[in-house]
Amino acid sequence: MNWYGCWTLYSRESRRFLNVKMQTIVAPALTAVMYLIVFRYAMGERSVPDLDVPYFNFLIPGLVMMSMMQNAFANTSSSIMVGKLMNMQIFLMMAPLTAFEVTLAFLGAAVTRAFIVAVVLLLVLVPFTDMHIEHLWMILFYGVCGSIIMGGMGMIGGMWSKTFDDMALLNNFIIMPLTFLSGVFYSVKQLPESWQAVNHFNPFFYLIDGFRHGFLNVGDTDPSQAIAIVSMATLATIFACWKLWQTGWRLKD
């Protein structure tokens, strides 16, 4: 293993977003705050049906997780996209880094960005509620897995996209619908039965629900089933990134 090289790439990918904090950390925090203000006034003190938690408390973990996932995706996809457009991915290919080391560094940086965003959001939002941490391990597990899955999808999307249009397509037609329909804003129990079933095929649903479970101690999914599904999805994502990078898919054609 070229640990030092892997570490260098990880720190490059992390410094890239730390250099533009306004865009990568402050902006997502502001967006989330605006969502909350709007929902706070729209929903008032209402509770989520069947779950018996204030809607406001229900919303915060979902928004935090959604921001984490979007930021993890943005970190890897934009890096690879800019690398392609600036022709700078060649430096990565010329360096003695194996596909596994590259994957590790990229995903590591995605998780780092997601967690920094999460901490900032929680520091801003939690003072407005009486929410507290119920299961830290669940928050960490779903946070890490969610960021890895989305960071990995960002890597694959970055490799696949030839232009910014391709990337926008991916973002608007796959990532956005999956995040919006994953139960950030509602409990699936509020949905008709048939839609509840559909939701169970959305991997993001398990991530958001599990993450929220860590804060509220209630959820829509069976925890052991969710852990199994999320673990498998995480490993599959890592494996796919590793193998695609190794073959030079759409990079070395």
Question: What is the contact surface with another protein in residues (CB under 8 A)?
Answer: 2, 4-5, 7-9, 11-12, 15-16, 19, 82, 86-88, 90-98, 248, 252-253
**What secondary structure letter does DSSP report for 128?**
G
**Smallest distance from the beta carbon of 251 to another protein, in angstroms?**
8
**Which is nearer to another protein, 80 or 138 (by Cβ)?**
80
CA distance 235 to 158: 19
**Smallest distance from the beta carbon of 72 to another protein, in angstroms?**
18
**Smallest distance from the beta carbon of 83 to another protein, in angstroms?**
8
Among candidate residues 96, 79, 243, the one with its CA nearest the CA of residue 151: 79
**Smallest distance from the beta carbon of 242 to another protein, in angstroms?**
16
Residue environment code for 83-101, b if the CB has 16+ CB neighbours within 10 A, otherwise e: bbeeeebeebeeeebeebb
**Which is nearer to another protein, 92 or 238 (by Cβ)?**
92
* Sign of the CA dihedral running 7, 13, 16, 22: negative
**Which is nearer to another protein, 85 or 176 (by Cβ)?**
85
Distances (CA, A) of 162 to 83, 86, 96, 242: 11, 12, 25, 20
**Which is nearer to another protein, 100 or 186 (by Cβ)?**
100
